[in-house]
Amino acid sequence: MREIGHFIGGKKVAGTSGRTSDVFNPATGEVQAKVALASVVELRAAVENAKAAQPKWAATNPQRRARVFFKFVDLLNQHMDELATLLSSEHGKTVEDSKGDVIRGLEVCEFVCGIPHLAKGEFTEGAGPAIDMYSIRQPVGIGAGITPFNFPGMIPMWMFAPAIACGNAFILKPSERDPSLPIRLAELMIEAGLPAGILNVVNGDKTAVDAILTDPDIGAVSFVGSTPIARYVYGTAAMNGKRAQCFGGAKNHMIIMPDADMDQAVNALMGAGYGSAGERCMAVSVAVPVGEETANRLVEKLIPKIESLRIGPYTDDKADMGPVVTKDAYNRIQGLINKGIEEGAKLVVDGRDFKLQGYEDGYFVGGCLFDNVTPEMEIYKTEIFGPVLSVVRAHSYEEALSLPMKHEYGNGVAIYTRDGDAARDFASRINIGMIGINVPIPVPLAYHSFGGWKASSFGDLNQHGTDSIKFWTRTKTVTARWPSGIKGGAEFVMPTMK
């Protein structure tokens, strides 16, 4: 049985806590590895390595730090097939989808290659009589990231790339469900020239998370996961004097106006709703057609496409989607589908009994489509995180707009329309963090920031883009006046520019 430990001080190390968790093959249901779950002592060992290495790395000029990421990007491209296959083998998503996972992380690494420019401060000459004023951006010291199972390549890189480029050391606590890829990324960072101890990967559960949140030497924490845990991480980090950015759940709507290109809208919903078996925080899980005619056309076109979804293991290069990640996830999704039926929604495509020949014990859920869903239903309120799309019919644009506006989550939203006025009004009024206009999954590119509103996000700064540079650095402002500019005696009043 393959055993997965940690990556501390520039090398793989075995776990010593005696506690492990199973890593499954989602396509077969078989245990393929055991991953070590760290103790507080093991987490502290990673912190000590980071603490020893960080001052010299912070003193390394930003251009040299950027060169590590130039090399790392090159290595990611060289190893793309290997990385995607490793990711898929533990997550279950298709290899092509996994390549997209890695590439979206790679793009943030490309962005931080510009760290010499991104980390520059500001300067004002003559801010006062013979006074110059300037600001400096300096690393927080040691940062930590707690990442989810659904993007084991992308989200760790969204966190550790800007943190390390800014001169910090980093402790990564990835999901124990698919832990192999983050360790491989750490190996490639070392190959790219990163000093040992700057990036450490510690596998674990709540014990490791709590150790991160209470460790006195960790200054900043980034988290992606469910909203209840995001609230817990944010509150606990704050109580322990750490800055935190925490990203939680989502319920992403797509509004389809009567003038929309229906074929484009349907294709968008297929990819956004069923790609990666719906296990994306930006997946579209609610379709809101405006008007009965629009709704009828939408459902009529969706049904045959959902019924013809090709579902298979990651080794099937023609599969549209694979299994969900674990048996627990499978059972939770099945339970929510049953709940939707109990509450009166119409299950027009039922994928509950899907079985794949030769993979009968795999965690496969067929594509499901609910119609006549209402906001009071559990399947509307809850993030299902599976291949389940709900249609909520709206009689007007205003009614459609009100649905995402009133929902507790505010991660992403989209509108499909040919009407520029409607699109502009939608983008201006909606209280959601990321908006797509004829774009179903509006994940910003690396040089813009990713983050939701409401119960989808906790903290003032988002991921990647310039927000990430601000989050992983502290600003120091210097006011300087040299002796030749100092005139007069002691001043006993508040200095002003009067």
CA 181 to chain centre: 15
β-bridge mates for residue 371, sequence order: 346
3-state secondary structure (DSSP) of residue 248: coil
Q: What are the phi and psi torsion angles at 463 (to 5°)? A: -85, 155
Phi/psi-derived region of residue 344, left when phi > 0, alpha when psi is between -120 and 50, beta in every other case: left
- What the block records as the tokens of 424 is 């502009």
Q: Which of 109, 166, 281, 368 is catalytic?
A: 281
Q: Which residues contact 481 (CB under 8 A, 6 or more apart)?
A: 128, 129, 130, 131, 132
Q: Is the Cβ–Cβ distance between 433 and 452 less than 8 Å?
A: yes
Distance CA 279, CA 180 (A): 19
Among candidate residues 308, 304, 316, 307, the one with its CA nearest the CA of residue 359: 316
Could you tell me the two tokens for 61? 């000029």
Q: How far apart are CA 451 and CA 253, in angstroms?
A: 16
Cα(301)–Cα(298) distance, integer angstroms: 5
Residue type, 46: A
Instruction: Say what the alpha-carbon torsion angle 290, 293, 299, 301 is, to the nearest 10 degrees.
Output: -120
CA 128 to chain centre: 45
Q: Which residues contact 317 (CB under 8 A, 6 or more apart)?
A: 94, 95, 96
SS3 369: strand
Burial group, residue 190, by CB count within 10 angstroms (0-12, 13-18, 19+): middle
CA dist 386 and 423 (Å) reads 29
Per-residue tokens: 443: 């994940």
Task: Give whole-number Cα distances, 165 to 11, 116, 191, 473, 485, in Å.
Answer: 20, 9, 16, 10, 38
Instruction: Establish whether 281 is a catalytic residue.
Output: yes
Q: Are 205 and 21 in contact (CB under 8 A)?
A: yes
**Euclidean distance between CA atoms 334 and 227, whole angstroms:** 21
Contacts of 80 (CB under 8 A, 6+ apart): 99, 102, 103
Catalytic residues: 281
